[in-house]
Amino acid sequence: MLQKRQATYTFRPSNIIEQWTVPIGCERVQINAKGAKGGNGWFATNYTQGIGGKGGSVSCDIPLTPGEILKIVVGRKGQDYRAGFGGGGASYVIRTGNVPLVVSAGGGGGGGGASNASRHLSARIL
């Protein structure tokens, strides 16, 4: 009787596209991908915080070929910033030939106060 072995590989946020080679004997993988949280924003008028959105999450079972190389990117949390920038990074897994297998979106930035750089009040459209 043959038993299938299981192995867990964990990838963390980095500044590079990582590669993973499907091991011999592996015919399916379960991928759990999570997009990163958006950064928090600050409202300058009253110093309250706009909370960044949560990243998406996806889980799936995918048939693969041993020896196939997957490209993996894990999104980073968006930067906290006064003006409300900072959406979270998406996480994704790409198959040979640049075919996306899994994509999980990053969360939106927390928002902040609006600004305007107009010389004349009458030129603004709100």
Residue 83: both structure tokens together: 């003006």
pLDDT at 115 over 50: no
Residue with the bigger pLDDT between 77 and 117: it is 77
pLDDT at 39 over 90: no
pLDDT at 97 over 60: yes
Greatest mean pLDDT range, 14-28, 36-50, 69-83: 14-28
pTM across the whole model? 0.71
- Burial of 11-37, coded b for 16+ CB within 10 Å and e otherwise, reads eeeeeeeeeeebeeebeebebebbbbb
Q: What's the gap between Cα 107 and its chain centre?
A: 8
95 within 8 A of 61, measured Cβ to Cβ? no
